[in-house]
Structure 1
Amino acid sequence: MAERAHLETGLAFLLTAGLLYLTQRALHRNLQLALHRLARDPDAAIVLYWALLFPGVLLHELSHWIAALLLGIRRYRFVFWPRRMGGRIRLGAVQLEEGDPFRMSLIGAAPLLTGIGVIALMGGAEPSTPSSGLALWASAAQALQGLLQREGGGALLYLLFTVGNAMWPSPSDRAAWPAVGIAGGALLGLLLLAGPSSLLPALAEVTVHLLSRLTPLFALLLAVDLPILILLLALNWLLSR
């Protein structure tokens, strides 16, 4: 029974994370398209896009800056203005001296960790929150309703939207992750081979517990993003007419 529960938790996480990824990609694409059509000027559309995501972008870059400060990496410049870079839009950047892969990977992951923490504080999942099945989505809808019923619910919803859509590490943030992942995987393999037989079940329990706490948070973000995506699709359809 425990193995089946663990499998359901893992599948629920993969499904929720995958849906969130696809939804947010479509949302950003349609948001940029709508702003471009409304502003009728590419540069103005980029500034509007940056302004709409301002709180999340600010938290993202501050997370890099604070993590670099705590880890002893020198900070050169804090760039907080949108800029087109080829086919991508850079909403902000922190220029740092190059450090070892471990510290740079932590700095790159800082916005994601901070964003998850903020989302958990705003509309977070209790330990009893379901992490799979239909109860997961009912719980996410209930959490969203509770957020809107709080004082300043509209502002909290906007903050949740901007943080949830700006917390993901960029390609440059993830540059050091492969090296750290390979080293960490090799170390974990050695520990599993040389360590006690109870190590693998313990790691599985920790992983499942982590996924069970992340899945409701991602479901809450989906409950926020999906209606906005539907509105953007309808708006772009009207603007295209």
Structure 2
Amino acid sequence: MPQKRKGCKLFVFDLIAPWLLVAAMLYMLRRLERWLHQHIFKVGWLVTKQLQTTTILFYAFFLPGIVLHEFTYWLVAGLLNVRADRALEWPKKQEVAELKLNFVRLTPKTGAIRLAIITISPFIVGVLLIWLIANTIINIQEAAASLQSGFLTDVSQMVSRLTATPDFWLWIYLIFTIGNTLSPSNPEHLRGWQRLLPVAGVILLVLIFLGAADEVLVNALASLNATVNSLSGTLGVIIVVDLFMVAILGTVEAIIERITGHSATYKDGKLITMRRSELMAQRAAEMKKGRAPQKAARAAPAGPPSVYRFALPIPGAPGKEAISRADDRIIAPQEKPLPSPLAPTPGRDAPAVISGAAAPKPDETPPDKDDPH
């Protein structure tokens, strides 16, 4: 019995671990992509000092990835019989370092499921293309097999073997541009996949009813795990290339800032230009501000908490007691005064009364009985 439980735990771990690894890689890839977009845009501004020129160069640098992304988007939309209009426009000046991949626009009548399939298609095609480049052209798996011993000589041999590939740096550039344009233009369009979950549940129930669920699930999970492992390997290649570009881009950016004396930073996603000295002073102020809570924490008395360490208020001498004040930061509810028994009930309006005196009636004398009239 314990062996069955242990085997079940191992099976669950083997099933979940690849997905957790892919999720962590996607998160890391997204962070790297954002950093690279911002600093490539920043380097473009440091060189040109014009936002319009920087925007054009920014889009031109990622042109292979943009073309693949938009072409796949348009092609899959046509395969699903969804109207897709081309909106090819010259990139407008922007202060935000992000690629606006909206060169192909769909009709508003597109269904949620078809919209989700179209949105995820550039990611799938991009990952497949990078996998083909990495495993059939550069042969990363064969080069990585030489690292089993772990010696530095093996590392140098692997690097020399990789760089000996014809047009190696061109393939690295393609991997970089395609890998950093994989993100969907609008993640909200992926919500259509939620509608497929009930369908998958119904299919699973039918398989269980027919008694073929175990065999189908084992085969499906084996194929799915193989796909997830290939996906994690491809994402790992993109992350390694991105880290390599981070090192190069950081060095180039630092050199340009030292030579020109100009710099820039991002606030709320927008590029803010300034002098390098101003940026250094701003960073120093932020570091000083961040150290203040640490100094306050160090000044706190060490040891276990005790009631004798509380700063309790000490009353003054008779007649000189301190006046207590309410905390201005807390808005206390206002107390409603109690109504007086003689006062009218609040919330009930008194009837309107017209002031004035009544007019007197004229005196009428009763007629005499002897009067013939």
TM-score category (smaller protein): 0.7 to 0.9
* 1:205 has 2:219 as partner: no
* 1:58 has 2:67 as partner: yes
TM-score under structure 1 normalisation? 0.80
CA contact (8 A) 1:36 1:45 kept: yes
Q: Which runs of 5+ in 2 are unaligned?
A: 1-9, 149-155, 258-262, 264-275, 277-373
TM-score under structure 2 normalisation? 0.54
| DSSP-derived class of the 1:90 partner | coil
Q: Please name the residue that 1:93 is paired with.
A: 103
Q: 1:76 to 1:3 in 2, by over 3 A?
A: closer
Structure 1 window deviating more from structure 2 (186-195 vs 22-31): it is 186-195
Q: Please name the residue that 2:246 is paired with.
A: 229
Displacement of 1:53 after TM fit?
0.6
Counterpart mapping for 1:148-167 below 5 A: 148-167=163-182
Q: 1:106 to 1:7 in 2, by over 3 A?
A: closer
| DSSP-derived class of the 1:155 partner | helix
Q: 1:155 to 1:95 in 2, by over 3 A?
A: same
Q: Which runs of 5+ in 1 are unaligned?
A: 136-140
Tell me: higher relative CO, structure 1 or 2? Use CA pairs within 8 A at least 6 residues apart: 1
Name the CA distance, whole Å, in 2 between partners of 1:94 and 1:144: 40
Q: 1:148 to 1:236 in 2, by over 3 A?
A: same
Q: Please name the residue that 2:312 is paired with.
A: none
State the superposition RMSD in angstroms: 3.0
| DSSP-derived class of the 1:169 partner | coil
Q: 1:103 to 1:142 in 2, by over 3 A?
A: farther
Name the CA distance, whole Å, in 2 between partners of 1:168 and 1:145: 32
Name the CA distance, whole Å, in 2 between partners of 1:4 and 1:59: 36
2:135 equivalent among 124, 133, 137: 124
What residue identity is the alignment partner of 1:123? A
* 1:67 has 2:76 as partner: yes
* 1:110 has 2:121 as partner: yes
Q: 1:185 to 1:91 in 2, by over 3 A?
A: closer
What residue identity is the alignment partner of 1:183? R
CA contact (8 A) 1:82 1:92 kept: no
CA contact (8 A) 2:41 2:58 kept: yes
| DSSP-derived class of the 2:252 partner | helix
| DSSP-derived class of the 1:79 partner | coil
1:59-81 per-residue CA deviation (whole Å, 9 max, x = no partner) reads 11111111122221223224254
How many residue pairs get matched?
Answer: 228
Q: Please name the residue that 1:35 is paired with.
A: 44
What residue identity is the alignment partner of 2:181? A
CA contact (8 A) 2:73 2:122 kept: yes
Displacement of 1:100 after TM fit?
1.6
Name the CA distance, whole Å, in 2 between partners of 1:11 and 1:230: 27
Displacement of 1:84 after TM fit?
5.1
Name the CA distance, whole Å, in 2 between partners of 1:14 and 1:190: 27
Displacement of 1:190 after TM fit?
3.3
Name the CA distance, whole Å, in 2 between partners of 1:200 and 1:123: 31
Counterpart mapping for 1:178-193 below 5 A: 178=191, 180-193=192-205
Q: Please name the residue that 1:138 is paired with.
A: none
Name the CA distance, whole Å, in 1 between partners of 2:157 and 2:205: 45
Name the CA distance, whole Å, in 2 between partners of 1:92 and 1:145: 40
Name the CA distance, whole Å, in 2 between partners of 1:217 and 1:147: 16
Structure with greater helix percent: 1
CA contact (8 A) 2:116 2:193 kept: no
Displacement of 1:108 after TM fit?
1.4
| DSSP-derived class of the 2:85 partner | strand
Q: Please name the residue that 2:282 is paired with.
A: none
Q: Identity across aligned pairs (percent)?
A: 22
1:195 equivalent among 199, 204, 207: 207
